[in-house]
Amino acid sequence: MVETISMVGKEITYEQLSRIETAAKQPIVYTKDSPKLTDRQLAEFRPVNFNSMEERRQAMIEAGII
């Protein structure tokens, strides 16, 4: 029998939870591709919540994604 925990609507095993806990204890490794952000850069982050698909589409156009 495998016990599970519900997490965001999905169930994970205790083995998976153990792996997540182990990974969380590892140090963060910054690289050229994922550098450490400054406090100013972190302060510029904003949540992305779109009221409509059109609003989302417009934001993607402005960002040069589409």
Q: What is the pLDDT of residues 36-47, one digit of tens each?
A: 999 999 888 877
Residues in the chain: 66
The amino acid occupying position 32 is K
Contact in structure between 11 and 19 (CB atoms under 8 Å): no
Q: What is the pLDDT of residues 3-58, one digit of tens each?
A: 555 556 778 889 999 999 999 999 999 999 999 999 999 888 877 777 888 888 88
Structural domain boundaries of the chain? 4-62
pTM given for the model? 0.41
